[in-house]
Amino acid sequence: MPNIILTRIDNRLIHGQVATQWSGAIGINLILVANDDVANNPMRQGLMDMAAPSYATTRYWTIEKTINTIHKASDAQKIFIIADNPQDVLKLVEGGVPIKRLNVGNMHMSDGKRQVATSVAVDDADIEAFTKLRDLGVEIFIQRVPDIAKEDASVLFKK
């Protein structure tokens, strides 16, 4: 079974907070960005590689490749999965990726979304995905960085 330390939703994917705070705090050595667009965009991958910590390997896989490949991971790989949105995380879980803990970090405000936490804006599709993830037994928490308090995650399930 893959050694998934944490999964995070962050529309910025790999950036300063992920590289300098989360990766070190949770003790990972592999950052896996599960995102169909980034998996096929070498320029974005290169930019994220520049932000990634030097002690961690980076992988950029589609949702499908993540589902089909993650079970081949070595026990020595301490994996930090980063996804763009809750729908992609739900696809991973429904596809058999053993995600137990989900950190909701940054979900930016956009048309049709409403702010529910400091750095989290959701729409009805997001709420539906979060609800299904919770019902599948995934522990969900909102926390921007590891050294601040978690915010109330119940806001992720209210329409």
Instruction: Tell how strand 139-142 and strand 30-34 pair up.
Output: unpaired
Q: Which of 7, 14, 77 is nearest to 50 (CA)?
A: 14
Q: What are phi and psi of 8, to 5 degrees?
A: -130, 140
DSSP state letter for 107: B
Please indicate whether residue 71 is annotated as part of the active site: no
**Which position among 3, 11, 12, 15 bears the catalytic label?**
15
Q: Which of 159, 143, 140 is nearest to 151 (CA)?
A: 143
Sign of CA dihedral 33, 35, 41, 47: negative
Total H helices, total E strands in the chain = 7, 8
Collapse the DSSP code of 84 into the 3-class scheme (helix H, G, I; strand E, B; otherwise coil) and give the result: coil
As annotated, the active-site residues are 15
